[in-house]
Amino acid sequence: MAEPGAGLTWGVERRLEFIEFRLFWEGGVNRSDIIEKFGVSVPQASKDLTLYQERAPQNAVYDKSAKRYVASDRFEPCFLKPDPSRYLSQLRSVSDGILDLSDAWIGQFPTFDAVPSPVRGVRAEILRSVISTIRRSDAVEVRYQSLSRPEPRWRWLSPHAIAFDGFRWHARAFCNADRTFKDFLLSRILETRETRSTEIASSEDRDWHQFVTLEIGPHPDLSGTQKQVIALDYDMHAGKTMIRVRKALLYYALRRLGLDTDPSARRPQDQQIILLNRVHIDHLLGTAESEWGA
């Protein structure tokens, strides 16, 4: 049996995905939704809805009173896999001001809000310079303010990637001054100056290319039902879940999950999860060649 999206152009398939998104999450869709979101003509929107019915005949029925297509009782996704993370990430992006309401696929927003994150002062010209240097595999001279020194200083970096630690963006780079790979906060790069070729290859950053698996489980001192709830929260199976992370980002992952301290220092109801393979992870932290939070 042919795939529902077989033989379709990217634009048409994208609009059919949108139709299905609205049917699944909001129960219905009409021509004006497609016209508003994609800027197509009325005939094209009608054609898209007809095509969707042809490709997924059991999914939508026309409601004459509401003048829109609604999801049927036999609805089964054909063009996309309903993803709660995708839906919720749109809410978060709108809340953070990253995504405009008009750019989201959600039509009827539920009442929502999010804990605000501090705005990080990354300047566009700094980010552009770092990304450009990464693309060319060059080195760049930056004036960087670290917390280990009272005044900023110029240093040569050979960046090969950028990384997000859950709160802040870093440049992953080889530092010529310290002769090691480190993380440099983009917000602490005050200015850039010259660029030059470099002999440092990204493949030399072993901590970046090595992956570590965190084994996470419920706190052992929680009750049985509390452990079941935590297992649902973290999509655990057989009492644990696996989180794969680059060794270079291990410190940040542990800190974000609240696993960077002794779990006995907090109440089980506050700690909630523990690191099941802590001995192994502590050993990896001790052997890391990187420096974090420069």
**pLDDT tens digits, one per residue of 203-260:** 999 999 999 999 999 999 999 999 999 999 999 999 999 999 999 999 999 999 999 8
pTM above 0.85, yes or no: no
Residue with tokens 């480190």: 182
* C-alpha–C-alpha distance, residues 280 and 214, integer Å: 9
Please list, in sequence order, all residues whose beta carbon lies within 8 angstroms of the beta carbon of residue 53, skipping any fewer than 6 positions away: 59, 60, 69
The Cα–Cα gap between 34 and 19 comes to 8
Nearest to 281 by CA among 255, 240, 250, 243: 250
The answer to whether 180 touches 174, Cβ cutoff 8 Å, is yes
Mean pLDDT over residues 283-290, rounded? 78
The mean of the pLDDT values for the chain is 92
Instruction: Please enumerate in sequence order all residues whose Cβ is within 8 A of that of 51, keeping only pairs 6 or more positions apart, or say none.
Output: 12, 16
Looking at residue 294, its pLDDT comes to 65
For the 10-82 domain, the top CATH level (class) is mainly alpha
Average pLDDT score over residue span 1-14: 79
User: Tell me: the pLDDT tens digits for 69-87?
Assistant: 999 999 999 999 999 999 9
Please name every residue paired with 156 in a beta bridge, in sequence order, or none if there are none: 141
Question: How many whole angstroms separate alpha carbon 247 and alpha carbon 38?
Answer: 42
Mapping DSSP to helix (H, G, I), strand (E, B) and coil, where does residue 103 land?
helix
- C-alpha 156/C-alpha 196 separation (Å) is 9
**pLDDT value of residue 1:** 44
Burial class from Cβ neighbours inside 10 Å (0-12, 13-18, 19+) for residue 49 reads buried
- Tens of pLDDT, residue by residue over 93-146, are 998 888 998 899 999 999 998 887 776 789 999 999 999 999 999 999 999 999
DSSP string, 159-206: EEEEEE-SS-EEEEEEETTTTEEEEEEGGGEEEEEEEEE----GGG-H
Domain ranges of the chain: 10-82, 83-116, 124-204, 207-287
Q: Using an 8 Å Cβ cutoff, are 163 and 186 in contact? A: no
Residue type, 229: V
